[in-house]
Amino acid sequence: MADLPACRLKPVPPFTYVGVDTFGHWNVVSRRTRGGHANSKRWAILFTCLTVRAVHIEVVEQMSTSSFINAVRRFVSIRGKVLEYRSDRGINFVGSTDTKTDAVNVEDPTIQKFLLSEGSTWIFNPPHSSHFGGVWERMIGVARKIIDALLLENSGKELTHEVLTTFMAEVCMIINSRPIVPVSSDPENPTILSPNLLLTQKEGDDIPPLQNLDIRDMFRAGWKHVQVLAERFWKRWKDEFLQSLQARRKWKTQKENLHKGDVVLVKEKDMKRSDWPTGLVEEAILSEDAKVRKIRVKVIRRGRQVEYLRPVAEVVVLYSPKLDSD
């Protein structure tokens, strides 16, 4: 396993280095009509601070360049300037060859010009390497699963834009209240270090629920709807995530670096193992600690040579001329 990236260790203000991902969509009531109401879609963009592990969620009306820039501007206006954004290279940010629907193309000249004017850079992880962004993938994975389950359970109650944005703010508060280090049993050190403590510099700043509400109250008023959802999110967050805050050890064994000319089997999730393509390593990309974690591999697809960027965890070494020569 590699050392932490330098951006994770620098003494910088919160949200200077940020991981970005999107999730959604949800249907909300956009306007009332004579026969009922008209619905429209909403998405959410989650920004994760790579230094203090805090999160910030912005709700957007559409996955477009304009909405994305507005969301980033709102985020920067509240949290301050961002030097570096990181994300996966999924269809949420670069689209796909089939369709650009529900996608923001970060490589769009308009967004590139906007990032340049802000003095920010955008870094993509290699394809098929979600573990490169584990620091924010973990947060969005758990939060999205709980949010989607809650909204699906309560689909009988109409969701409005105001209720959704307030609910996301409550979700941020709950996530940012989690401990980010082991909780001390020392009575002289009762303070629990959390992202909220680092953001606000206030102890015990968690906002308690307004009152004890149950599922029936969410159908009586909009603010009660939000409080019921927030309370249920907290219960599931406590049961499903907080219990898993323990040390995780992976990739501890030293292995030989891959080299140019190695023959590998490229893993494909949508194919059977027997159909995985065989490839030739064209370039072994060294990390700062002289370990190879990314490679450029050449495979044959439909009679044509195609080159992919892949993490070493997604290939299987079949033959290495260098090892044979040694």
Render pLDDT for 147-205 as a digit per residue (tens, 0 to 9): 877 777 666 567 888 888 988 888 888 888 888 776 666 666 666 778 887 788 776 55
Please check whether residue 258 is in contact with residue 284, taking contact to mean a CB–CB distance below 8 angstroms. Answer: yes
Average pLDDT of the residues in 19-48: 81
Provide φ and ψ at 226, rounded to 5°. -65, -45
pLDDT in tens, 105-121: 777 888 888 888 888 99
Rounded Cα gap, residues 251 and 71, in angstroms: 37
288-295 contacts, C-beta under 8 A, 24 or more apart: 288/3, 289/2, 289/3, 290/257, 291/2, 291/257, 292/257, 292/258, 293/2, 294/126, 294/129, 295/258, 295/264
What pLDDT, on a 0 to 100 scale, did the predictor assign at position 12?
85
**The 292-301 sheet, strands edge to edge:** 304-311, 292-301, 278-286, 263-266, 315-319
Residue type, 66: S
Average pLDDT of the residues in 249-255: 72
State the pLDDT confidence band at 15, using cuts at 50, 70 and 90: very high
CB atoms within 10 A of CB 59: 21
What's the whole-number average pLDDT of the chain? 78
Please check whether residue 286 is in contact with residue 292, taking contact to mean a CB–CB distance below 8 angstroms. Answer: yes
Please check whether residue 14 is in contact with residue 35, taking contact to mean a CB–CB distance below 8 angstroms. Answer: no
What pLDDT, on a 0 to 100 scale, did the predictor assign at position 75?
94
Average pLDDT of the residues in 23-36: 75
Selected residue with higher pLDDT from 189 and 122: 122
39 has pLDDT over 90: no
Please check whether residue 229 is in contact with residue 196, taking contact to mean a CB–CB distance below 8 angstroms. Answer: no
